[in-house]
Structure 1
Amino acid sequence: MKFCKKYEEYMQGQKQKKLPSVGFKKLKKILKRCRRDLHSHEHSTPHDSSTCPKKCPVCDGTFFPSLLNEMSAVVGCFNERAQKLLDLHLASGFSRCLFWFKGRLYGNHGALSQEGKDLVTYAIINAVAVRKILKKYDKIHYSKQGQAFKSQAQSMHMEILQSPWLCELMAFHINMRETDEASAKKAIIALFGGCSLVLKDGKPSLSCELFDSIKLDLDLTCSICLDTLFDPVSLTCGHFFCYMCACKTASVTIVDGLKAANHTEKCPLCREGGVYEGAVHLEELNMLLSRSCPEYWEERLQYERKERVKQAKEHWESQCRTLMGV
């Protein structure tokens, strides 16, 4: 079955959930119209017709703006639904009761797990749809404008595979699977081949077999301390760090937290500014790593406790000196 038909059938099945999608069929029609325009342009101008005109009304005015809006809607919906699901899973006591009364409780353990898998599938198939339509664009135009658009979308945080909530859902899926033997035996839908934590030479990574022969590998090593992520956070640029390491690079204490970081502070990897304030704590990933690397976790926990006490003491001593006017 061709991808376009498979995608249309999948999104039709999700219609009751009112999920936004990539207008794959509509975008293909736009490209067909653009191909006709290029063909007529070939016979009316003497220069090389293998590339799209610099000012193509079809591409500049319709195709890319439409795709960008759809990608934005898909990423926004995915992030919101994933965050709600994970908040529910991690909630306890009064907070969990509150979710119940607001109608956000999915019913039971198995329903939560299925919802997580459905969201991962939704992210993956839309990522594939974007990749295929951009590939088709470049094929028609004999250009690399599609790839350039993809890079631009990544810098604007519109690439769904960069979302920290996808990493969290992958960790959530493994956590749920390993704590529920019955659900582990169930077949996973064809679009989503499942996730696993891979340890190679003592270094962990999240691996996920995706639809259309795509494999997603997320390195779980902090690029600052060069060790396994501990108390991991994702900056808004999509890069992962240990929370304490992120605080150091942002020039803030653990007491103040990343929200206190100056807007000019940059990610140590991509050098993008203003990425600390909206940092996301990866709680599911934290639980997965703590269970998978128990000896390392205990050793790191002891060190971090001492460092936190030290920083807290220095912080309050500084506050006392300020109040006393010293």
Structure 2
Amino acid sequence: MKFCKKYQEYMKGQKKELPGVGFKKLKKILKKCRRESQSHKDEDIDGVSNITTCPHHCSVCDGTFFPSLLKEMSAVVGCFNESAQKLLELHLASGVRKYFIWFKDKLQGNHVALIQEGKDLVTYAMINAIAIRKILKKYDKIHYSKQGQAFKSQVQSMHIEILQSPWLCELMAFHINLRETKAKTRTDSGLFEGCSLTFEDSKPLLSCALFDSIKLDIDLTCSICLVMDSDHRFISSALFAVIALFLHSLSFLEKWCSELAQAKSSMFISLDTVFDPVSLTCGHIFCYMCACSAASVTIVDGLKATEPIAKCPLCREAGVYEGAVHLDELNILLSRSCSEYWEQRLQIERVERIRQAKEHWQSQCRAFTGV
């Protein structure tokens, strides 16, 4: 079965009407472009031109294709983010608040229903990501261009790429959390098994596969994690941001840094699993304390105090700290999966948080007393 038909059947099979990619409509636009291009070729009486597709910048396609796709992508991402937030809010809520949410939104509160809804949302995100990827690939094939890839980069910078959504990462972690909890009571062979947390060569990966067509791997290593001296004091954010950029571009340095960490030197650099993770709007995930340090704010003030010009340490995009999402489900998953490491990091960060809080209140007292 072709993907277009499979996609249409999937969207029709949903319980309620959801925003989607107008796959058939977009393909018609491209077919029209191909026909017009062929007619131009036939009119070439000299036979000099070898054009079999339309030019890189095509008024037939670009005036309707990209605006239409952009509108549909925005609707899909908006619907997915809203639905994911509601589901995760229900799972993380406690006591009376949880029952209030059930009553307000008429959501099913049983365990299996939550797992199924999480699975459906992940599937919805992934199949729409496949649809977008395939239609852009078809655009580039017809036009012999890279405009489709350029458009994909553009929507990533606009933060409307569904695979970039922090809520997808949270849903994947949410599903594993519920699945593991369910395994302690009874096994259900019908549960979705597409999400997994693996540690390959000590590198943590959150993975999800769908239809053997697309696989999403989320690296859970904090690239700026804990650049400290031997007394567990953080080095300036500017310095470890530079180090992070080098580590990101030159992967072989990770091995060198781990060997350096094992040596009893006065300084160590360790690339660790994210702790208390937070996702910036550019999609990069860091430890919360590392993100605060990179943004030159204290843990007391938090990321809300970050200047608008502050940039992501990896992609160097500005304004990505506003709207950062705390990944609570991922935090729960990692704390269960590597409990010994989690306890060690908890002790280290507790000391650092107390130190920063003490310095903050001392400075406040000095400002108040005028000393």
2:6: which partner in 1?
6
Q: 2:108 is matched with which residue: 100, 106, 109?
A: 106
In structure 1, what is the Cα distance between the partners aligned to 2:131 and 2:209? 16
Provide the residue aligned with 2:150 in structure 1.
148
Give the structure 1 partner of residue 22 of structure 2. Answer: 23
How many Å separate the matches in 2 of 1:257 and 1:269? 20
User: 1:55-66 maps to which residues of 2 (within 5 A)?
Assistant: 56-66=58-68
Matched, 1:284 2:329: yes
Q: Is the 8 A contact 2:41 2:51 kept in 1?
A: yes
Matched, 1:186 2:189: yes
Q: Equivalences for 1:108-257 in 2 at 5 Å?
A: 108-181=110-183, 184-188=187-191, 194-225=194-225, 226-257=271-302
Aligned length in residues? 322
Structure 1 Cα separation of the partners of residues 355 and 145 of structure 2: 56
Match for 1:250: what amino acid? A
Given that residues 177 and 184 in structure 1 are in contact (C-alpha distance below 8 angstroms), is that contact kept between their aligned partners in structure 2? no
Please state how far the C-alpha of 1:224 moved relative to its aligned partner. 0.2
Q: In the superposition, relative to structure 1, how do residues 221 and 184 fare at CA in structure 2: closer, same or farther (>3 Å)?
A: farther
What is aligned with 1:267?
A: 312
Q: Given that residues 177 and 183 in structure 1 are in contact (C-alpha distance below 8 angstroms), is that contact kept between their aligned partners in structure 2?
A: no
Partners of 1:320 and 1:104 in 2: CA distance? 49
What is the percentage of aligned positions where both structures have the same residue?
A: 75
Larger Rg: 2
Q: 1:147 to 1:8 in 2, by over 3 A?
A: same
Match of residue 304 from structure 1: 349
CA contact (8 A) 2:207 2:215 kept: yes
Shift of 1:277: 1.6
Query: Is the 1:178–1:184 contact (alpha carbons within 8 Å) kept by the matching residues of 2?
Result: no
Distance in 2 between residues matched to 1:183 and 1:134, nearest whole Å = 43
Contact 1:124-1:211 at 8 Å conserved across structures: no
How does 1:37-116 map onto structure 2 within 5 Å?
37-45=36-44, 47-53=49-55, 56-116=58-118
1:213 CA drift (Å): 2.8
**Which residue matches 2:251?**
none
Aligned partners of 2:314, 2:78: CA distance in 1, in Å?
Answer: 24
Q: In the alignment, is the contact (CA less than 8 A) between 2:56 and 2:147 conserved in 1?
A: no
The answer to whether the Cα contact below 8 Å between 1:188 and 1:194 also exists between their aligned partners in 2 is: no
Task: Give the C-alpha shift of residue 104 in structure 1.
Answer: 4.5
Query: 1:142 Cα shift?
Result: 1.7
In the aligned structure 1, how far is the partner of 2:212 from the partner of 2:43? 40
One-letter identity of the residue aligned with 2:131: A
Once the two structures are TM-superposed, the CA of residue 134 in structure 1 deviates from its matched residue by: 0.9
* SS of the residue 1:315 aligns to: helix
Following superposition, the deviation at residue 151 of structure 1 comes to 1.4
Counterpart AA for 1:317: Q
Q: Secondary structure at the match of 1:186?
A: coil
Q: Cα–Cα, structure 1 residues 281 and 297, in superposed 2: closer, same or farther, change >3 Å?
A: same
Q: Secondary structure at the match of 1:180?
A: helix
Sort the Cα spacing of 1:183 and 1:74 in 2 relative to 1 into closer, same or farther, 3 A: farther
- TM-score for the superposition, normalised by structure 2: 0.83
Please say which of residues 47-56 and 292-301 is displaced more in the overlay. Answer: 47-56
| 1:22 counterpart SS class | coil
CA shift digits 1:219-250 (9 cap, x unpaired): 11000012110000000000000000000001
Is the deviation greater in 44-53 or in 164-173?
44-53
**Where does the alignment leave 5 or more consecutive residues of structure 1 unmatched?**
none
Q: CA deviation at 1:146?
A: 1.2
